[in-house]
Amino acid sequence: MLDQNYSKTEAGREEIKSRSLPLSRSARNLLLVMDASKPARQWLALVQGVGEQDLALLLEKGLVAAQAGGVRATARAPEPAAELPAPKAEAPNPPAGADVARLYSELYAYLTAQAPRQLGLMKGYVFTLELEQCQDLPALRKLAADLLVRVQQAKGPAAAQELREGMVAWLD
């Protein structure tokens, strides 16, 4: 159980917004930060005061679910860029409903994993809270573009370009 990667379910994302379940502070904190980028053991070590019982509660309530594999990443080397090309706001022919849900889920998982890596733990946590507010794919794409700007300001254009290449399938 502790070596498995977990991510929030739709019910978990809804619980973050509604706060309707009587979760302990530690369980709620774990729910806020947990994504599929690390195994549960690492998340339990990172979030102070969290134990296996908190993870078990999140699983029991259906707020997190085990993931079969890691988060999608690209192996391409970044190309230096003076200016980052702006992502398209919406594809000319939006995909069908199931495809939109899949794209949303994939981009959500990618951004959740990248935020702490690119912005650090605290700014990544704040970004994750913003991510939870995105209701649809266009809002998620807009926040992804904002992440690119933040990374470019913090780490430079090469880091932003590398991040953009990792999410190009969801933005173009």
The full length of the chain comes to 172
**What is the identity of the amino acid at 76?**
R
Decide: 50 and 17 in contact? Cβ < 8 Å.
Answer: no
| Residue 90 reports pLDDT greater than 70 | no
14 part of a folded domain: yes
62 and 102 belong to one structural domain: no
Q: Please give the Cα distance from 61 to 39 (Å, whole number).
A: 19
101 and 165 belong to one structural domain: yes
Q: Please give the Cα distance from 133 to 16 (Å, whole number).
A: 9
123 and 164 belong to one structural domain: yes
Q: Please give the Cα distance from 154 to 167 (Å, whole number).
A: 18
| Residue 18 reports pLDDT greater than 70 | yes
109 part of a folded domain: yes
77 part of a folded domain: no
Tokens (6 digits) for 11: 């019910």
Q: How many domains does the chain have?
A: 2
Give mean pLDDT, residues 84-89. 48
101 and 151 belong to one structural domain: yes
Range of the domain at 143: 97-171
136 part of a folded domain: yes
pLDDT tens-place string over residues 45-78:
877 788 889 989 999 999 999 887 544 333 333 4
Tokens (6 digits) for 89: 């706001």
74 part of a folded domain: no
